[in-house]
Amino acid sequence: MANAESIDMKALIKSLEEETQELSKKRKDLLEKLDKSYTKKQRQLLDDLEKTLNQISYDKEKLRKLYARAVTPEDERNFGQKFTKMGQRWTKNEDAELKQEFESGKSIVELAEAFKRTPLSIQFRLYKLGLIEEAPDMR
């Protein structure tokens, strides 16, 4: 059984691959349309596109490496056992304890293990409590 984070990572990697292919196609189309006398602005656009493609390739590879280290088959098998409070309401005591632990410097992963909730759940709760500025991205 795959956990929510592993599914999100797989979807993110697939999305990046699709974006890379789409940008590569756009780049190829641009090159075909332009003759050898393109303007300075056109050349700059092509350079920017090339940089974006390189960054996406780098990010995609980085994500693959992080995912490979972060989610093991054992993690996927033990997902339900590891996060036993998944889906349960937060209590006021848990909120207070979460705030205290977060402010003491514990990481999201450490908090997830301590509270028996998913890292994504921890991030959302920290956001709701005003302890982090951005809500986790679900795309």
- Model confidence at 72: pLDDT above 70: no
Overall average pLDDT of the 89-102 stretch: 94
**Angle, CA of 60, 133 and 99, to the nearest 5°:** 110
Q: What is the pTM of this model?
A: 0.45
Give the max Cα distance, the chain: 68
Confidence category of residue 104, pLDDT binned at 50, 70, 90: very high
pLDDT for 93: 95
Mean pLDDT calculated for residue range 9-38 = 75
Write down the pLDDT at residue 1: 43
Produce one character per residue of 68-92: b if its CB has 16 or more CB atoms within 10 Å, e if not.
Answer: eeebeeeeeeebeebbeebeeebee
Element spanning 135, H or E:
none
